[in-house]
Amino acid sequence: MPEISVKSALAGNWKATIPSEAEPHSRTWMAWPSTPAVYGGPGAYYESVQETLGRLAAAIAENEPVAMAAPSEHHALAAELCGPKVQLVDIVTDDMWMRDSGPVFVRTANDAIAAVDFRFNGWGNKQAHVHDAKIASNVAGYVGAKCHVSPVRGEGGGIEYDGDGTLLLTESCWVNDNRNPGTSRAEIEQHLKVVLGVKAVIWVPGVRGKDITDGHIDGSIRFVKPGLLVASNWPGDTSEWGRAHKEALAILARAKDAHGRKFEVISIPSSTNARSRSDDFLTSYANYYVGNGALYTPQFGDRKADALAKETLGRLHPERRIVQLDMDRIYENGGGIHCVTQQQPS
Q: Is 71 helix (H, G, I), strand (E, B) or coil?
A: coil
DSSP string covering 57-69, please? HHHHHTTS-EEEE
Instruction: Taking residues 242-254, report their average pLDDT.
Output: 95
Question: Between residues 281 and 312, which one has the greater pLDDT?
Answer: 312
Mean pLDDT of the chain: 94
Categorize the per-residue pLDDT at 141 as very low, low, confident or very high, splitting at 50, 70 and 90.
very high
Contact 266, 224 (CB under 8 A): yes
Map out the domains of the chain as residue ranges: 9-345
DSSP string covering 198-260, please? -SEEEEE---SSSSTTSS-GGGTEEEEETTEEEEEE-TT--SHHHHHHHHHHHHHHH-B-TTS
Cβ contacts of residue 179 below 8 Å, gap of 6+? 121, 124, 153, 154, 173
Q: Would you state the pLDDT for residue 274?
A: 87
At residue 21, does pLDDT exceed 70? yes
| Catalytically annotated residue among 82, 147, 173, 339 | 339
Q: Which fold has domain 9-345?
A: L-arginine/glycine Amidinotransferase; Chain A (3.75.10)
Strands 104-108, 16-17: pairing is antiparallel
Spatial distance between the Cα atoms of 207 and 170, rounded to a whole number of angstroms? 8
Q: Would you state the pLDDT for residue 154?
A: 98
pLDDT digits over 220-240, tens only?
Answer: 999 999 999 999 988 778 889
173 belongs to the catalytic site: no
Q: Would you state the pLDDT for residue 31?
A: 98
Categorize the per-residue pLDDT at 12 as very low, low, confident or very high, splitting at 50, 70 and 90.
low
